[in-house]
Amino acid sequence: MIEDRFKLENQLCFRLYTASRLITQAYHPLLGEQGLTYPQYLVLLVLWEKDAQPVNDIAKRLLLETNTVTPLLKRMEAEGIVTRSKGKEDARQMIVKLTKKGRDLQKKLTRSSPN
């Protein structure tokens, strides 16, 4: 017999995981209409606060590694939501900026956001 502390219903991590999944699901209908995923929405939130940020800064804000954020940004660039360009001061740095489409998404999404 398993100890009570190892039962699934007694695991805080499972409750947090479930809550996270349910919150993400709540956003799905709204984001799906715009062709966005929840992680892309989080990137947009960061850029709506302050546009033209280095990839490293975006990753830090989202508590993610750059190798997780970079493919996400590449897809967003392919969809015309952001642009990526080398930094003027440091060519190793990649700067991410919103396009008109990315800025227009703010108007569409903030009107009907489930927060």
pLDDT 10s digits, 5-62? 899 999 999 999 999 999 999 999 999 999 999 999 999 999 999 999 999 999 999 9
Q: What band does 92 get if pLDDT is binned at 50, 70 and 90?
A: confident
Residue 2: pLDDT over 90: no
Domain ranges of the chain: 4-111
Q: Smallest Cα–Cα separation from 69: which of 87, 48, 42?
A: 42
CATH number of 4-111: 1.10.10.10
β strands within the chain, DSSP E:
53-54, 82-86, 94-98
- pTM confidence score: 0.88
pLDDT(95) > 80 = yes
63 φ, ψ (degrees, to nearest 5): 55, 40
